[in-house]
């Protein structure tokens, strides 16, 4: 769960994948999380 300092925006999400190099985005998890947070909180 993420929230803006003033509490005006919150984000709760779940990412589900198969933990396999060929069947899921596990290696890209941090990159995907960063992109989602930036999209929600930075209006980009």
Task: Give the pLDDT band (50/70/90) at residue 18.
Answer: low
Q: What pTM was computed for the model?
A: 0.56
pLDDT at 6: 92
* DSSP, residue by residue, 22-37: TTS-GGGHHHHHHHHH
Taking the C-alpha atoms of residue 17 and residue 33, their distance in angstroms, rounded to an integer, is: 14
List C-alpha distances in Å: 41 to 4, 7, 28, 29, 36.
7, 11, 20, 18, 9
- How does the average pLDDT of the chain come out, rounded? 78
Residue spans per domain, the chain = 2-41
Residues with Cβ within 8 Å of residue 35, at least 6 apart in sequence: none
Task: Give the pLDDT band (50/70/90) at residue 26.
Answer: low
């Amino acid at each position: 769960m993420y929230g803006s300092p003033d509490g005006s925006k919150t984000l709760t999400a779940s990412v589900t994948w198969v933990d396999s190099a060929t069947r899921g985005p596990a290696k890209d998890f941090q990159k995907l999380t960063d992109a989602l947070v930036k999209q929600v909180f930075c209006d980009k």
